[in-house]
Amino acid sequence: MALFSKNEQIAQLKLPHNRVQSFADCLFNKTSKTLLIGVMILLFSLPLLLILGIANILVYETTLQVASGTLTEADGAQRIFDTLNAAYLLLIPALVVLFIGLAGLVRVSRRMIFQEHVAFFADFASGVKSNCRAFSLTAFVLGLLHFVMMYLARLGYFVADTAWLDLTFAVSLGALVLALVIAPLIMFQTDLYNLPFLHKLKNAFLLAMRTAIATIPFMGLLFSPWLLLLIRYDGATYFLVIVLLFLLITPLELLALQQYAYSILDRFINKTHHPEIYDKGIYRHAND
């Protein structure tokens, strides 16, 4: 007796054959949902963008005051230092807000990748309810590490002996890079497995170290479009570039990162411990 009906076999053959094809399937066959993910990411990023926008305006005004002579260079440097410290501290709760949104969107994108029915806002709400705590904690740690690194980077302007400062800055930078590498694996595990946070952290660290040679260049390439923000634009063009990056690039980055993370989890965890979700959403031919 056949294990699958003819219709089931046909449906399997129509599935993507690997994670790259699965990404393309989400891009071309689920375009409206992918764009809606971008819209939602933009909405949950508004507090972060507002903080950064106000901080940039204040720094620009301070720079003009120094240039016009109404403010001394020392006072200007101190004011910029205080402004950026406050901004990067406020970015921590703003990042938590963004990650609460991601907690729901990862559930939506997981169902897209697994070829399951998507009820966008119901799945989003379910994801927020299930994933919110772990995602918020991850965002808090990332925001705190970013604040410490940026604080140490700017503190050098006010300290004569910077030998100890260089060392602590290097440590904080290394800690932030490590956190950025393992954070996605924590997040995607959260939506898949019912595990304590520390267990997911341990898994993420070990998997990140085991795949670092591929993972770090992949993430560098994945987030390279944001280098466009380093180019000088006028105000309206700069705003347009930011909106397009959030609407068009962030959903693709989320899907690509999720597909990559699933390939790691399939290889090292799912095949042995969770066969029910191993290669879920794809169908590999015998010679693949």
Predicted local confidence at residue 165, as pLDDT: 83
Interval 71-103: pLDDT, tens: 999 899 999 999 999 999 999 999 999 999 999
Predicted local confidence at residue 2, as pLDDT: 46
How far apart, in whole angstroms, are the C-alpha atoms of residue 267 and residue 278? 8
- Taking the model in full, what pTM does it have? 0.91
Q: Alpha-carbon dihedral of residues 81, 87, 88, 91, nearest 10 degrees?
A: 180
**Cα-based distances in Å from 244 to 35, 113, 121, 178, 279:** 11, 23, 23, 28, 32
Helix (H) and strand (E) counts for the chain? 12, 0
Q: Minimal CA–CA distance to 37: which of 287, 184, 256, 235?
A: 256
How far apart, in whole angstroms, are the C-alpha atoms of residue 109 and residue 56? 33
Q: Who contacts 110 (Cβ-Cβ below 8 Å, separation ≥6)?
A: 188, 191, 192, 258
Hey, is 9 helix, strand or coil? helix
**Cα-based distances in Å from 255 to 26, 34, 43, 101, 268:** 8, 9, 18, 15, 20
Predicted local confidence at residue 283, as pLDDT: 86
Q: What is the DSSP string of 162-219?
A: -HHHHHHHHHHHHHHHHHHHHHHHHHHHHHH----HHHHHHHHHHHHHHTHHHHHHHH
How many residues are there in the chain?
288
Predicted local confidence at residue 155, as pLDDT: 87
How far apart, in whole angstroms, are the C-alpha atoms of residue 45 and residue 185? 21
Interval 46-73: pLDDT, tens: 999 999 989 989 999 999 999 998 999 9
Q: What is the DSSP-derived secondary structure letter of residue 128?
A: H
Predicted local confidence at residue 157, as pLDDT: 77
Q: Alpha-carbon dihedral of residues 4, 6, 11, 13, nearest 10 degrees?
A: 90
Hey, is 114 helix, strand or coil? coil
Q: Are 228 and 242 in contact (CB under 8 A)?
A: no
Looking up tokens 């095949």 gives: 271
Predicted local confidence at residue 12, as pLDDT: 58
What's the token pair of residue 134? 């772990």
How far apart, in whole angstroms, are the C-alpha atoms of residue 237 and residue 14? 42
**Cα-based distances in Å from 164 to 157, 170, 171:** 14, 10, 11
Q: pLDDT tens digits, the chain, 288 residues: what are they? A: 345 454 445 455 578 989 999 999 999 999 999 999 999 999 999 999 999 989 989 999 999 999 998 999 989 999 999 999 999 999 999 999 999 999 999 999 999 999 999 999 999 999 999 999 999 999 999 999 999 999 998 887 777 677 788 889 999 999 999 999 999 999 999 999 999 999 999 999 999 999 999 999 999 999 999 999 888 877 788 888 988 998 899 999 999 999 999 999 999 999 999 999 999 999 876 555
